[in-house]
Structure 1
Amino acid sequence: MFVLALIIILGVALVAGGLWFAANPGSLNAEWLGWQIETNMIFGLIGLIVFFVALWVVWQLVLTFATMLGLRGVKTRGNLVGAAKGMGEAYAALRVGRGGQARVEAHRARRAYRDPVKCPATLMEADGYAMSGEAEAARDLYKKLLDNHDTEGGAIRGLLELAVAEGNDAEIREYTERAFFKVDNPVWAARPALDEAFRSGRLEDVEKPLQVLEQSGQADADEMRRLRSDVFLKRAEAAKASGRKGDAVTLARQAVELVPESETAVDTLARMLAADGKARKAEQLVQDTWRKAPHALLARTWRDLAGGKDANALATRMQTLAALNPDHPESRLAAAEGAVEAKLWGQARTQLQPLITNQPCMRTCLLMARVEDGESGDGAKAQDWLRRAVAAADGLGGVETPAAPGTGIQANAA
């Protein structure tokens, strides 16, 4: 309604002005370099308007040619100095984590450029948005910068970091693939690509990020062996799921050969060997690993390989395993748990005694609670150990060694 009223008012004003000029045409005389122009005021105004329109068209043509030559925007030395200062201050702000200030300074530098895609400060402005939590604004700028060869790599990295923060696997896959194709040795894309490939089960995509990590020196030899061992384990699980038992055993064995002390790899191979009727080889594998690197998961593997033994036989079996590395805390915990299951309270207490002198871990406290409750029925002491177990679990006690899933200790904790 307002717009309609404004149009009517302007129309009336134009008509009234036209009628007034028609009644009072006046005259306009101009002389310049021997040229003399005589006309009435109406034609003079029309000529003036035409002149300014022509001037504007010429100016637009000049700007168009300047843009084609890459000169548009930086019009004076002052523009250039201001842009450089803004970019410097934006970079400094990014270095100290002040995303908001970086965004403002980079935007000021960008004013010297007509096209933001051509301005190097735009990338810093997008980083500033991302750092200050304005993900959508950052994403919009990053996507614009994908069209500029000079800023494409930085834009891909920015979009990848946003995707990782949001847990968007589809975009992580898209931008890591683009990084490997467009950017030389993109180390920053390797780990997100590797993690996403493991999560999605696309094991055929892990080799490229592994190569990038290895060539860049961002992963040492030990880490590379662990990563490749994880790949073999994943492939072994996939082979087992598809019924290819022989391939599964071969792949699991390769994982163990890469990282012999890996409890996960040893557990996987041992269980596959046992399922294939090679229980003795499975037991030997667990024993060899226990001598070098005892772990709660291997204690569970050793226990499960025994099958349906009674509690006393199981306690003896756990003592056999513990004897291979008798002073290690995991050996004492494994032997103590077997003794508790068999109600051999004195034997369990003997194994746990060296572990309670300082700050015992949660598993030790839970086992001691069962010993106090089972040996003497002293509920007060058992409750005290349970409280200490809670404190240890909250980080107030000793360092906790993760228990294997399904152990008697965890069952009591629940």
Structure 2
Amino acid sequence: MRTTLKVLFFFALILGIGYGFSWVADRPGDIWLEWQGQRYQTDLIVAVTALVAVIMAVMLLWWLLRTIWTSPHSMRRFFRARKRDRGYQALSTGLIAAGAGNAVLARRMSARARGLIRADQEPLIMVLDAQAALIEGRYDEARQLFQRMADDPETRELGLRGLFVEATRLGAHEAARQYAETAAEHAPYLPWAAKATLEYRCRAGHWDDAVRLLDQQRIANVLDRHEADRLKAVLLTAKAEDQLEAEPTGARDSALKALKLAKDLVPAAIVAAKAYQREDNLRKAANVLEQVWRQEPHPEVAQAYLRLRSGDSAVDRLKKADKLEALKPNNYYSLLAVAEAALDAGEFGRARAKAEAAARMASRERVYLLLADIEEAETGDQGRIRHWMGQALKAPRDESWVADGYVSERWLPMSPVTGRLDAFTWKMPVNQLEGPVEDGSPSDGEKALAALPPVAKVAVAEPEQMKDAEAFTSETPAPIVIEQPKHPETKPVTVAPPAPKPTTAPEATKTETIIEPFFGRPPDDPGVKDPARSDTEPKTRLKLF
């Protein structure tokens, strides 16, 4: 831009000079000068041209005299600039060598730079010396150089950074905390200082100081508005958890402030509901949980909502679960909440239908365990129970609070591994010892439901099916026939229940039966052998008296 302006000014000057000469040429005239008895006469245009030539000659002469007069200083300045350029070149080479880990070259370039540049005028020389000392393992010398830089206002931030790193390396956490807080106090825009100070204050439980530092970062434009609001909501939630037992009112206010900043923050809603519960304000507690349920359905929210009033019966909890499902229909956690509540209320058909719908939506360990509980409570069929338990073993694990590979049963404001704030997210753990056989897709739930064995039917045997009808009296219970699914190797099993012992009659006749496999295959009991493997071995027999 400046070059363009200069060019335009040059052309404007030339144009003005040309226009001036043209104006003078269009108005001819004579001009004369009398000096010491002589008269000099010439044309006007010649006189103007001579005047311009004289002015240019004077300017050229002045420039020449000035150049000669200032030539010694110019020569000194030229050689000084050349020397400084060589020094900066050596300094640049030394910093590159220090970054590459070449301590020998870094030290040599540092000595050369000191000979070409004054160390008090260029603080980068101390930085190069400190880096070379760290590479060579001379940590005491490096700490002294960092301390000198911390005392200089121009290099204070760099010196504090070096001292903080060294204190962290040596495990001096208290000294590292002081260096970080000093740097954050003088320059809150430094990310490393703010992060380290936030971490130390969060570990110590100084939530108010952490919030104040976060506000300073936001004012300094280190964090954008969305990120700052999210982190502040996390800090307020952690503060509310600490206040919940001793100061429920303060916990409620902090949790509500957190919900205003992050409407989908589940832990904040749970803390606010618990605070309202301690104040016997169940209506507001339910409203808070319902609002966050609309934003983010979560099993902890459902559990807190169903258990909000301690005197509720199982039927009352089922009604609340129905309300949650109405707020968020066709949701995995909504279906699970209704299924668990229906199981507690004894409505097995409804519990089974909701649990199967949840299994079709997402194949998870929890839904299969729930189906096994329903099967045990409703039918008691061990074959179907084992089927659901086997599906639970193959299914992926349920979601949990996970941060940096660490799985926690409850939400925490920061990661215990890295100290990162707002690190925990609700997701499926990936650090399983053995990967799941299934991938957890809805098709896996369909396959599991399709492979479910039928319920074993119980019927009363006819009298003509008994081999010895005379052994049964009117007081003897009828034998039970268990109908198994059809299979080439499967036979119906007849089990005679124990007859009541009469006071004078002799002991009842012993009945001997053969245990056949479940669903056409041998059961998991190692004591029962597969007849397909060995036809010569005698079958295991069970005597019932």
- TM-score normalized with structure 2 length: 0.49
Q: Is the 8 A contact 2:259 2:269 kept in 1?
A: yes
CA positional deviation for 1:330:
2.2
Choose which of 343, 346, 350 in structure 2 pairs with 1:347: 350
Q: Is the 8 A contact 1:235 1:251 kept in 2?
A: yes
CA positional deviation for 1:130:
7.5
Answer yes or no: is 1:191 the counterpart of 2:195.
yes
Choose which of 325, 328, 345 in structure 2 pairs with 1:325: 328
Q: Is the 8 A contact 1:107 1:122 kept in 2?
A: no
Q: Distance between the aligned counterparts of 2:322 and 2:142, measured in 1? A: 60
What SS class does the counterpart of residue 314 from structure 1 fall into?
helix
Change (3 A) 1:334 1:207: same
Bigger mean CA offset, 317-326 vs 131-140: 131-140
Partner of 1:250 in structure 2?
A: 253
> Alignment length, in residue pairs?
317
Change (3 A) 1:203 1:77: closer
Q: Which has the higher helix share?
A: 1
CA positional deviation for 1:175:
1.7
Choose which of 198, 223, 242 in structure 1 pairs with 2:227: 223
CA positional deviation for 1:278:
0.8
Change (3 A) 1:171 1:382: farther
Q: AA paired with 1:274?
A: Q
Q: Distance between the aligned counterparts of 2:135 and 2:368, measured in 1? A: 45
CA positional deviation for 1:107:
3.6
Answer yes or no: is 1:367 the counterpart of 2:378.
no
Q: Distance between the aligned counterparts of 1:143 and 1:164, measured in 2? A: 15
Answer yes or no: is 1:384 the counterpart of 2:387.
no
1:7-52 Cα distance to aligned partner (Å, 9 max, x none): xxxxxxxxxxxxxxxxxxxxxxxxxxxxxxxxxxxxxxxxxxxxxx
Q: Distance between the aligned counterparts of 1:365 and 1:319, measured in 2? A: 21
Q: Larger Cα Rg: Structure 1 or Structure 2? A: 2
Q: Is the 8 A contact 2:277 2:308 kept in 1?
A: yes
Identical aligned residues as a percent: 25
Change (3 A) 1:273 1:131: farther
Q: Is the 8 A contact 1:106 1:122 kept in 2?
A: no
Q: Distance between the aligned counterparts of 2:133 and 2:335, measured in 1? A: 54
Q: Distance between the aligned counterparts of 2:136 and 2:348, measured in 1? A: 59
Partner of 1:170 in structure 2?
A: 174
Change (3 A) 1:331 1:76: closer
Change (3 A) 1:207 1:289: closer
Q: Is the 8 A contact 1:110 1:116 kept in 2?
A: no
Q: Is the 8 A contact 1:172 1:193 kept in 2?
A: no
Change (3 A) 1:388 1:172: farther
1:114-172 Cα distance to aligned partner (Å, 9 max, x none): 99997625536756888999988866664454344443312322343566678865234
What SS class does the counterpart of residue 327 from structure 2 fall into?
coil
Partner of 1:311 in structure 2?
A: 314
Q: Is the 8 A contact 2:168 2:176 kept in 1?
A: yes
Q: Distance between the aligned counterparts of 1:291 and 1:311, measured in 2? A: 24
Q: Distance between the aligned counterparts of 2:298 and 2:94, measured in 1? A: 56
Q: Distance between the aligned counterparts of 1:135 and 1:382, measured in 2? A: 62
Q: CA RMSD in A?
A: 4.0
Mapping for residues 285-296 of structure 1, pairs under 5 Å? 285-296=288-299
Q: Is the 8 A contact 2:107 2:132 kept in 1?
A: no
Change (3 A) 1:308 1:355: same
Q: AA paired with 2:93?
A: K
Q: Is the 8 A contact 1:252 1:265 kept in 2?
A: yes
CA positional deviation for 1:286:
1.3
- TM-score normalized with structure 1 length: 0.62
CA positional deviation for 1:110:
2.9
Q: Which has the higher strand share?
A: 2
In structure 1, the gaps of 5 or more residues are 1-74, 94-99, 400-414
Q: AA paired with 2:231?
A: L
CA positional deviation for 1:219:
2.7
Q: Is the 8 A contact 2:218 2:224 kept in 1?
A: yes
1:190-241 Cα distance to aligned partner (Å, 9 max, x none): 2222222222122332244313431344433232222222343344445555
Change (3 A) 1:361 1:145: farther
Answer yes or no: is 1:266 the counterpart of 2:269.
yes
Partner of 1:50 in structure 2?
A: none
Q: Is the 8 A contact 2:322 2:338 kept in 1?
A: yes
Change (3 A) 1:313 1:170: same
Mapping for residues 8-407 of structure 1, pairs under 5 Å? 81-91=89-99, 93=100, 100-101=101-102, 105-112=105-112, 113=114, 120=124, 122-123=126-127, 142-143=146-147, 145-161=149-165, 169-183=173-187, 185-237=189-241, 239-241=243-245, 243-342=246-345, 344-357=347-360, 360-375=363-378, 376-377=381-382, 378-389=384-395, 394=432, 396=436, 397-398=439-440
CA positional deviation for 1:272:
0.9
Q: Is the 8 A contact 1:123 1:151 kept in 2?
A: no
Q: AA paired with 2:389?
A: Q
Q: Is the 8 A contact 1:286 1:302 kept in 2?
A: yes
Q: Distance between the aligned counterparts of 2:139 and 2:304, measured in 1? A: 47
Bigger mean CA offset, 225-234 vs 355-364: 355-364
Q: AA paired with 1:230?
A: V
What SS class does the counterpart of residue 360 from structure 1 fall into?
coil
Change (3 A) 1:84 1:127: closer
Q: Is the 8 A contact 1:311 1:342 kept in 2?
A: yes
Q: Distance between the aligned counterparts of 1:136 and 1:337, measured in 2? A: 64
1:66-119 Cα distance to aligned partner (Å, 9 max, x none): xxxxxxxxx99877644431223434x3xxxxxx44x55544433344999976
Q: Distance between the aligned counterparts of 2:197 and 2:255, measured in 1? A: 23
Partner of 1:96 in structure 2?
A: none
Change (3 A) 1:247 1:83: closer
Q: AA paired with 1:333?
A: L
Partner of 1:65 in structure 2?
A: none
Q: Distance between the aligned counterparts of 1:180 and 1:149, measured in 2? A: 15
Partner of 1:28 in structure 2?
A: none
1:302-335 Cα distance to aligned partner (Å, 9 max, x none): 1221314343433332222222112222212222
Partner of 1:404 in structure 2?
A: none
Partner of 1:405 in structure 2?
A: none
Q: AA paired with 1:262?
A: L
Q: Is the 8 A contact 1:336 1:352 kept in 2?
A: yes
CA positional deviation for 1:282:
1.0
